[in-house]
Structures are given as C-alpha cells and as structure tokens.
Copies of this chain bind each other. A is one copy, B any other.
Amino acid sequence: MQRKRFNTMSCPIARGLDRVGEWWSMLILRDAFAGMTRFDQFEKSLGIAPAMLTRRLKALVENGLLTKQRYASHPPRDEYRLTARGEDFRPVLLALLAWGNAHFTPEGPQMQIIDAASGEVAEPVLVDARSGRKLQAPDFKLAHGPAATAAMRARLAGGGGLLGWPGVGA
C-alpha cells in the first residue's frame, strides 16, 4: 500500500500537488525563494529533521523544482537552487501568503507586499495579463482544453466553478 499518487489524474491541480503536496515541500520552496540554498539553512529555518529534509530535497530535485549543484569540491558542498519550474511556483506561494494573512494572523500581518516606492500595502488579485480584467465569473470561465478527457469535459460543463458560478457574485 503506497500513498496514493495524484500524477495519473488528468487535473492539472492534482498533477501539481503530486509534486509539492507533501508536508514540507512548499515551505522548503518558500525558503528557496527567500534565498536559501544550503542544507543547514533549510534545516535551521524550518526545524525539520535532517532525514526528512534529505527526502524532500531529493523529491524536489527529481521533480525538477530545484537543482543540486556542487559549489565547492574540496569539502564537497552542494547548493539547491530554484529551476524555472520552481520559479514559476511563485504565484502559488503569494496566493497562500495573502490567504494566510487574511485568515490566520489575529495579531496583524507579519509579512506584507508593499509598493517599493510609496510603501503602500498591495492587494493581490489574479487578472488576465492581456486584458487586465479580474479572473472571475461571468467574464471568464473554466473550459476544457484540447487534450481533455471525456470525464474532464463532463466535469467542466457549466463553468467548473473555480471562477465562481455565472450570475453568483462570489
């Protein structure tokens, strides 16, 4: 009996979660974005057991989110760096940051995205890059792509819901 994998599902969310959905993975990525590259930096920052960190880093490297590169050979030392695929994960962490700030910081926000020039606190929203409009129903909807399976088409008939239901101001 293995842990059930999501990578055989056709949904891109499931496919993605299969790579970063374990208990520590996203926090390791967060620290990688914060500039950490070395084993002991992650270890101290997270308070994670070393065996666990080894396993997670290995999985993230295998899934193409991090690279492991030797930066010193005399004492063999490696560093972990984000790949392009890892960099692309950034919006997920930013969305999580905004959600965490909104719901789980009763003391007030610990981290904020601010305008570098004015210092004003930013308010993150997802929009379409070209038109600049907010990604929500009824302007946008979730549709099946060209490679969608029959099950996926059936599931998406009606808008899929992730953008809100048409006519409902979610």
Contact = CB atoms under 8 A, between A and B. Distances in A.
Contacts of A163: 90, 94, 113
Interface stretch (A53-61, A71-79, A142-150): A142-150
A156 B95 CA distance: 18
A51 interface: no
Q: Which of A110, A113, A132 is most buried by chain B, counting CB atoms within 10 A of its CB?
A: A110
Interface in A18-34: 18-19, 21-23, 26-27, 30, 33-34
B103 A10 contact: no
Contacts of A138: 116
Contact of A152 (B96, B110, B147, B165): B110
B26 A100 contact: no
Interface in A135-169: 135, 137-149, 152, 155-156, 158, 160-165
A56 to B, nearest CB: 13
Contacts of A34: 155, 160-162
Q: Which of A143, A158, A165 is most buried by chain B, counting CB atoms within 10 A of its CB?
A: A143
Contacts of A33: 160-162
Given A125-B129, A135-B94, A103 B88 contact: yes
Interface of A: 3-4, 6-7, 10-19, 21-23, 26-27, 30, 33-35, 47-48, 64, 85, 87-105, 107-117, 120, 122-132, 135, 137-149, 152, 155-156, 158, 160-165, 170
